[in-house]
Structure 1
Amino acid sequence: MNRLIPSLIPSIAPFLGAALLASAVSVASAADAWPDLNQPGAIVLFRHATAPGIGDPANFKLNDCPTQRNLDDTGRAEARKLGEQFRSRKINVGAVLSSQWCRTRDTARLAFGNEAVKDEPAFNSFFGRSSGISDAQTAQARAILVRWRGPGTLVVVTHQVNITALTGVNPTSAEGVVVRPAADGSLQVMGSVTP
């Protein structure tokens, strides 16, 4: 029996290494990153707060909120709590960019105020669209992020598909993924924050 264990180690070592790496990645992405938002040039990508459903209705129109999936009471409370977290932690917000969808605008406005929010189409949802469109839009979004130098934290309110394309992280509603641009133009995930 003792001779069997050493002979199995070389055959299972790659699987153990992969499991440990996956474990480390999930721990890193789950880290509470609120302190990172006080660092110069900080960036956080928030998925909009809770808006029940998936995608948008068939009659969706960009400038007509009743045709869209919108925040419910839980989502509005989450958005307000996000703003409270930033204020209580004294995080200096340098800019707030939002997708043009009503649920992202509402999340951003409830958290940071109407005047602070600026529409940025590079962060619009591309759910259900071709990979060519999503790739081009992700490249535009990444270019905006890697240029950010502050002052203050850049807050982006967008959609799950956009954040996953940029970071590989699949955030829950109202979760923020904190990133730092790397020298090669990629985005290093520092952790996440929730209301």
Structure 2
Amino acid sequence: MHRRALLLAASACALPARADEAVARRLAAGGVVIAFRHALAPGTFDPPGFRLDDCSTQRNLNDDGRAQAQRIGAWFRERKLVPAAVRTSPWCRCVDTARLAFERAEAWPALGSPRAGTESVNAAALRELQQALVTATRQRGRFEAWVTQQFVLTALVGGGVGSGEGLVLGVDGDRRPQLLARLNIA
């Protein structure tokens, strides 16, 4: 019985590594987007009166969040995976996550928090994201990295996502966003 317990423990430890490597193979094949929720930024929502052009008025990454973003980048570098594009919400915690992980970031308003927009602006942003996802899935051999907020990912694919978690996204036969895999780098 002791040998069986050791084998079960060893295989349980190997599961996340195998899952991570399956994600790496999927990204290397291209035709997907990996969309991250920003790294750890304690609290909920931004304070009243926050401004996008002033990080001191927003909820930001803490030391753990900055370290998490750097670990995300290390995971990609270790596997020699380089996104063709790195797009981010203009919120500072998203820009910082993208820059710490990928050393570059292009702010894209469509990835911005829907809590700051009107219903029509949010619907237009969601359509823009869906179309960009369709376009990205047609590009074999390359992938994009997006960094955004939980609200955006929930609107795009439904369900929750943890801080710093990546969702590998494709589209189904009807060109609707499809969650293909998750990447959690602790």
TM-score by length of 1: 0.78
Instruction: State whether residues 91 and 153 of structure 1, in contact with CA within 8 Å, keep that contact through their aligned partners in structure 2.
Output: no
Partner of 2:14 in structure 1?
A: none
More displaced, 122-131 or 87-96? Answer: 122-131
Determine the C-alpha separation between the residues in 1 that align with 2:116 and 2:109. 16
Give the corresponding residue for 2:46.
56
Once the 2 structures are TM-superposed, how far is the Cα of residue 129 of structure 1 from its aligned partner? 4.7
Matches within 5 A, 1:107-118: 107-113=97-103, 116-118=104-106
The answer to whether the 8 Å contact 1:167/1:187 transfers is: yes
Unpaired segments of 5 or more residues in structure 2? 1-18
Alignment match, 2:58: 68
Q: 1:182 aligns with which of 159, 172, 175?
A: 172
Match of 2:120 in 1: 132
Q: Say if 2:132 is the partner of 1:144.
A: yes
Q: 1:94 touches 1:150 (CA, 8 Å); kept in 2?
A: no
Which blocks of at least 5 consecutive residues in structure 1 are unaligned? 1-30
Cα drift, residue 132 of structure 1: 3.4
Secondary structure, aligned partner of 2:27? helix
Query: Letter of the aligned partner of 2:146 in structure 1?
Result: V
State which of 74, 93, 110 in structure 2 corresponds to 1:122.
110
Distance in 2, Cα, partners of 1:190 & 1:163? 14
Please report the RMSD computed on the Cα atoms of aligned residues, expressed in angstroms: 1.6
Cα distance between partner residues in 1 of 2:45 and 2:62:
15
Distance in 1 separating the partners of 2:109 and 2:118? 17
Corresponding position of 1:17: none
Once the 2 structures are TM-superposed, how far is the Cα of residue 128 of structure 1 from its aligned partner? 6.1
- 1:170 is matched with which residue? 160
What is the DSSP-based 3-state SS (H/G/I as helix, E as strand, rest coil) of the residue aligned with 1:127?
Answer: helix
Partner of 1:36: 26
Which residue of 1 is the match for residue 145 of structure 2? Answer: 155
Question: Structure 2: how far apart are the matches of 1:150 and 1:35?
Answer: 13
The alignment covers a number of residue pairs equal to 163
Task: Give me the whole-angstrom Cα distance separating, in 1, the residues matched to 2:171 and 2:80.
Answer: 23
Distance in 2 separating the partners of 1:50 and 1:167: 21
- Give the TM-score normalised by the residue count of structure 2: 0.81
Q: Residues 145-176 of structure 1, C-alpha deviation per residue, up to 9 Å, x if partnerless?
A: 11112652200000100001111131000001
Answer yes or no: is the 8 Å Cα contact 1:126–1:134 preserved in 2. yes
1:194 alignment counterpart: 184
Please give the alpha-carbon distance, in whole angstroms, between the structure 1 residues aligned to 2:49 and 2:32: 37
Q: What whole-Å deviation, never above 9, does each CA across 1:39-64 have from its counterpart, x for those lacking one?
A: 22221110000011111110200110
Larger radius of gyration: 1
